[in-house]
């Protein structure tokens, strides 16, 4: 029997499509981000994770490199049915490990302001300033992934 919850790195075009489908549901339909912002051309070179519930995709996030030492976490999306159960935290910890193995030292994330407590509880620190993306005002946080 398949495990209830598993987290895996995206390895195939089919898995990337599954990740993008979740992003469409959460980031476009639910949150109103334009499609061209959601699928911005960086997916092919990014590292993605998929959260699976008995093999069915329920969550995703991606990591892109901004430089040799800095990365960007983005497109973090869990289906509504799977929020508030610790999966967001597990997914981010997984990508932080991926970032470390890729030689990155610091990762950045730009979420809505109401998620600041979520990211701070995971060890992220707020960076001053605001960012605009697809008509949304976002804040910036960062976390060092190496000592």
Give the footprint of ligand COA on this chain (CB under 6 A): 26, 76-78, 83-89, 109, 111, 114-115, 117-118, 121
CB of 4 to ligand COA, least distance (A): 15
Length of the chain: 147
CB of 84 to ligand COA, least distance (A): 5
Rounded Cα gap, residues 119 and 111, in angstroms? 9
CB of 59 to ligand COA, least distance (A): 7
Nearer Cβ to ligand COA (35/103): 35
CB of 36 to ligand COA, least distance (A): 17
Q: Which residues of 67-97 are buried (b: 16+ CB within 10 A; e: fewer)?
A: eeeebbbbbbbbbeeeeeeebbeebbebbbe
Nearer Cβ to ligand COA (133/146): 133
Nearer Cβ to ligand COA (87/98): 87
Phi, psi of 41 (to 5 degrees): 95, -10
According to DSSP, the β-strands at 125-133 and 106-109 are unpaired
Residue nearest to ligand COA (CB): 88
| Measured CA distances, 87 to 29, 61, 130 (Å) | 21, 11, 27
Nearer Cβ to ligand COA (5/144): 5
């Amino acid at each position: 029997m398949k495990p209830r919850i598993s987290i895996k790195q995206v390895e195939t075009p089919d898995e990337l499509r599954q990740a993008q489908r979740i992003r469409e549901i959460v980031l476009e339909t639910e949150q109103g981000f334009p499609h061209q912002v959601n699928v911005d051309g960086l997916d092919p070179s990014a590292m993605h994770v998929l959260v699976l519930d008995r093999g069915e995709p329920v969550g995703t996030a991606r990591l892109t490199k901004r430089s040799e030492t800095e990365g960007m976490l983005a497109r973090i999306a869990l289906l509504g049915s799977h929020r508030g159960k610790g999966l967001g935290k597990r997914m981010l910890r997984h990508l932080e490990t991926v970032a470390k193995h890729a030689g990155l030292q610091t990762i950045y994330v730009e979420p809505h302001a109401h998620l600041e407590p979520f990211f701070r509880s995971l060890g992220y620190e707020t960076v001053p300033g605001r960012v605009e993306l697809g008509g949304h005002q976002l804040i910036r946080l960062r976390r060092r992934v190496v000592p």
